[in-house]
Chains A and B, each alone.
Chain A
């Protein structure tokens, strides 16, 4: 065992922190009010070698010159996401969707031509990718989706609607899941690579969400979207498997995002505990505040350790799915609790938008929901436990 990062990982963390503090922090309040997550940030992440350190070595999308090149390194990506989420959880989720959900699915199942076409611009941050699985009546029960993909000669025609698609507005590529065999249920789901400019692809109005406001989320309409035969990713009927495998890595991303929120809340609460004086002493000296701070820090460390454990397990070729479920569940609960506690430490000032803490409470709330609700994660963990204990 070893509980210390390698110098390469430390450098990666430092670089991600520098990006978050210098590029994101000055603009995040404004973005939260009204903004769109600037697409240039993806290109900037690529330039800094932070966009996808967990993509395979030498694959399309990774072949440009980058500092601190890393490959097959989920832990490195988790560190990047944590540091970005300290400042902007919205950027972290958009990046996780882009690089993990879509990018890794392409790496695992794409043909050489599909990889070349999509991963190269994705890897440079020239296009942003979206993942479209959820429908109005098919959320947790993803296998019940109803979007249809029908054959038309060599082509496919997609008809239906997807909702709550992260980066749905700016997406240059949509990885969409549709049924090619409705009678087969979940086993009839197939994955498709839908170009952002495909005819018949319509973008609904941007969703008004409680948090993660810089991230563009919206419904996508598919009105007889005609795709060539080579737009299919993986085999017919393999879609749900592809989606669930992607979500397993996505859960590590959400866990890292939630850890970042918790880490920021610890720093802010500790700083305020030292800066604020009441009754003639720093408030951190009161047992009540000291307990909040101690619990915050312990929670953050739990979130981080479980997240790193899941990332390391993936990098070491082990079955990481139950660990990712556990990390996502634990870290997301911790993020919600941490934001709440940090507001409490700040008192009324924590409730003031200008202090910049209430945003984390709103952002954190999504982490217990997406990439599988926590109830689903708990069932996955319980299933793992029942199998593990003889």
Chain B
């Protein structure tokens, strides 16, 4: 897909192409998936038919270039698709986000020709992908992971436990991080492409989650799991860099997901306020309810701009670490806020499963946690602010000495 973002000045209007993608995904979600989203949640049911349909329609190759068999969405189109998916089912969007952002994309970006040729057709064709960095004792502090990878001839022998693996039970390809070096910290981490057929690979317990229950999250147990050296993604010892660079994109994906949830909650809240009357007035005609609606609208609007900005920067190849973190931090907090207020506007109806808003409330909560908790985003932002300040100072000094 071409990206028409290089001419002119500020312009917050979507291109025709992006507007069409949004309309297409929304139509698909409203007609095909919306009727089932509550059931997937309540029965913690993996939506196999919906995922197959999404694969059929190209959603498993959103970030894979056309010449490699994908549909080659730019980062903005991709964010739009995730947002629209999340508006109907946060579970669907997280599975698609993980598959594309943090499994297929890093293979496109860092894979050898042989790795791309082997794994991308599988992924595009409907084999689900996963990303496995977290461990029981290494979450936000990912560099302290302890899963060991010892070289033995042409293979690495992996031992350890990974957890919080989205798509863990269904994935046919898992981008997994393990320690090849003896040293602590980021230097000894290496990225591996692991497949579940490898000896010593086992899917562990399935988590019983508060929300995004249609997606399956598991532990992975690696017991003398032998991974061919050919499956190392990128350079040995550079896994942490791959993980961080991958998460920049993942953050934009989760930000888009959070925006979709926020919008769903906002729209449900407004609709209910327009339908229900109390004390002889529509709910929205009471100022406290109107203020809740306004607060939701504002957060949705700001989240939309932050997500669009981060994805535009990414789509056009510009640096976007701070903007991705800002989008993720703000949109996730907007999602929990909007879901909370939507429940409040619904009153008792908001607390029962007959209405979707309690699902939004549970689904929204994870967005403040995964792909870097809010606290981590703030650390990233303040660190980048310092880099900007140092760069500005250096430029100023250079200017002065010239």
Binding site for B on A (CB under 8 A): 1-6, 8-9, 75, 266, 270-271, 273-274, 284, 287, 290-291, 293-295, 297-298, 301-302, 305-306, 308-309, 312, 316, 323, 326, 329-330, 377-379, 381-386, 388-389
Interface segment, one of B186-194, B211-219, B306-314, B357-365: B306-314
Q: CB < 8 Å: which of A6, A309, A386 contacts B12? A: A309
Name the residue of chain A whose CB is nearest to the CB of B290. Answer: A382
Given A298-B326, A386-B270, A378 contacting B290 (CB threshold 8 A): yes
**B274 at the binding interface (Cβ < 8 Å):** yes
Could you list 18 A-B pairs, sorted by A, with CB under 8 Å?
Answer: A1-B11, A1-B308, A2-B8, A3-B10, A3-B308, A3-B312, A75-B9, A291-B378, A293-B381, A293-B382, A298-B326, A301-B323, A312-B12, A381-B294, A382-B284, A383-B290, A386-B274, A389-B266
Interface string of B289-324 (1 = CB under 8 A from A): 011011111100110011011001100000000110
- Please name all residues of chain A whose beta carbon is closer than 8 Å to the beta carbon of B18 when the two chains form the complex: 1
What 6 additional pairs, Cβ within 8 angstroms, besides A2-B8, A305-B309, A385-B270? A295-B378, A309-B12, A329-B298, A379-B294, A381-B294, A389-B270
Could you give, for residues 321-345 of chain B, a 1 whenever the CB lies within 8 Å of some chain A CB and a 0 otherwise?
Answer: 0110010011000000000000000
Query: Any chain A CB within 8 A of the CB of B232?
Result: no
- In the complex, whether B146 has a CB less than 8 A from a CB of chain A is no
Check if A384 sits within 8 Å of B297, measured CB to CB.
Answer: yes
Which A residues touch B309, using CB under 8 A? 3, 305
Contacts of B11 on A, CB cut-off 8 Å?
A: 1-2, 312
A316 to B296, CA, bound (A): 25
Residue of A nearest to B315 (CB): A1
Interface size class of B (residues with CB under 8 A): 35 or more
The answer for the CA separation of A5 and B12 in the assembled complex, in Å, is 12
Nearest first, the 10 A-B pairs at minimum CB distance are A6-B9, A294-B378, A382-B290, A294-B381, A290-B382, A381-B294, A389-B270, A378-B294, A305-B305, A385-B297
Question: B257-282: which have CB < 8 Å to A?
Answer: 266-267, 270-271, 273-274
Q: Could you say which residues of chain B place their CB within 8 Å of the CB of A377? A: 294
Q: Is B386 an interface residue (CB 8 A)?
A: yes
Asked whether any CB of chain A lies closer than 8 Å to the CB of B367, the reply is: no
Roughly how many angstroms separate A14 CA and B16 CA in the complex, as a whole number?
A: 33
Give A293's nearest chain B residue, CB to CB: B382
Interface presence of B76 (CB below 8 A): yes
Contact residues of B between 228 and 280, Cβ < 8 Å to A: 266-267, 270-271, 273-274
Interface residues of B in 379-400 (CB under 8 A from A): 379, 381-383, 385-386, 389
- Whether A290 pairs with B379 at a CB distance below 8 angstroms is yes
Chain A residues positioned under 8 Å from B378 (CB to CB): 290-291, 294-295
Tell me if B402 counts as interface (CB < 8 A to partner A): no
Judging by beta carbons under 8 Å apart, are A1 and B76 in contact?
yes
CA–CA, A306 to B294, complex, Å?
Answer: 14
Give the complex CA separation of A379 and B379 in angstroms.
35
Q: Is B136 an interface residue (CB 8 A)?
A: no
Q: Residues of A contacting B313 with CB < 8 Å?
A: 3
Cα distance A270–B8 when bound, in Å?
A: 32
Do A298 and B298 touch across chains, with their CB atoms under 8 A apart? no
Q: Complex Cα distance A80/B296, Å?
A: 30
CB distance from B3 to the nearest CB of A (A): 10
Q: Is B329's CB under 8 angstroms from A298's CB? A: yes
Contact yes or no, A8 B298, CB < 8 A: no
Contact B10 A75 (CB under 8 A): yes
Cross-chain contact of B298 among A2, A3, A330 (Cβ < 8 A): A330
- Taken together as a complex, chains A and B put the C-alpha atoms of A297 and B296 apart, in Å, by 21
Known contacts: A1-B15, A305-B309. The answer to whether A389 contacts B271 by CB under 8 A is yes
Q: Determine how close the nearest CB of chain B comes to the CB of A383; give it in whole angstroms.
A: 8
- Which A residues are in CB contact (< 8 Å) with B385? 266, 270, 293-294, 297
Which residues from B are CB-within-8-Å of A378? 290-291, 294-295
Do A381 and B298 have beta carbons less than 8 Å apart? yes
Q: Is the CB of B294 within 8 A of A270?
A: no
How distant is the Cα of A85 from the Cα of B323 in the complex, in angstroms?
24
Point out the residue from B7, B294, B323 that lies within 8 Å of A385, measured CB to CB.
B294
Q: Do A308 and B293 contact each other (CB < 8 Å), given the known contacts A1-B18, A1-B308, A293-B382? A: no
A295-B326 Cα distance, complex, nearest whole Å: 9
Confirm or deny: B287 has a beta carbon within 8 angstroms of a beta carbon on chain A: yes
B199 to chain A, nearest CB (A): 44
B14 interface residue, CB < 8 Å from A? yes
In whole angstroms, what is the CA distance A379 to B308 when docked? 26
Find B377's partner among A294, A306, A379 (CB 8 Å cutoff): A294
Considering the chains assembled together, what is the distance between the CA atoms of A8 and B9 in angstroms?
9
For the complex, is B118 an interface residue (Cβ under 8 Å from A)? no
A284 to B267, CA, bound (A): 39
List B contacts of A389 (CB < 8 A): 266-267, 270-271, 274
Residues of A within 8 A of B270 (CB): 385-386, 388-389
Q: How far is the CB of A27 from chain B (nearest CB, A)?
A: 23
Contact A294 B382 (CB under 8 A): yes
For B284, the closest partner residue in chain A by CB is A386
How many angstroms between the C-alpha atoms of A301 and B330 in the bound complex? 11
CB distance from B320 to the nearest CB of A (A): 10
Q: Does B35 touch A at the CB level, under 8 Å?
A: no
Residues of A close to B271: CB separation below 8 A:
389
Q: Find out whether the CB atom of B287 lies under 8 angstroms from the CB atom of A271.
A: no
Given A9-B10, A382-B293, A305 and B298 contact (CB-CB distance below 8 Å): no
Query: What residues of chain A lie closer than 8 Å to B302, measured between beta carbons?
Result: 302, 305-306, 330
Chain B residues within an 8 Å CB radius of A270: 385-386, 389
Given A301-B326, A382-B291, A386-B274: A308 and B12 interface contact (C-beta under 8 Å): yes
Q: In the complex the two chains form, is A1's CB within 8 Å of B312's CB?
A: yes
Does B5 touch A at the CB level, under 8 Å? Answer: yes
Contact (Cβ within 8 A) A298 B330: yes
Check B290–A379 contact: CB distance below 8 A: yes
A312-B291 in contact given A291-B378, A385-B270, A385-B297 (Cβ < 8 Å): no
User: Which of B305, B379, B386, B389 makes the CB contact (< 8 A) with A309?
Assistant: B305
B5 / chain A contacts, CB cutoff of 8 Å = 1-2
Asked whether, in the complex, the Cβ of A9 is within 8 Å of the Cβ of B9, the reply is yes
B14 CB contacts on chain A under 8 angstroms: 1
Give A73 Cβ to nearest chain B Cβ, in Å.
10
Contact call B8/A302, Cβ cutoff below 8 A: no
* A271 to B386 alpha-carbon distance, docked (Å): 9
Determine the distance from Cα of A377 to Cα of B298 in the docked complex, in whole angstroms: 11
Inter-chain contacts of B290 with A (CB < 8 A): 378-379, 382-383
Q: Are B274 and A306 in contact (CB under 8 A)?
A: no
Taking CB atoms, residues of chain B closer than 8 Å to A301 are 306, 323, 326
A273 to B298, CA, bound (A): 30
Whether A326 and B273, one on each chain, are in contact in the complex, defined by CB atoms closer than 8 angstroms, is: no
A-chain residues with CB within 8 Å of residue B330 when the two chains form the complex: 298, 302
The answer to whether A6 and B326 touch (CB under 8 A), given A284-B382, A305-B309, A379-B287, is: no
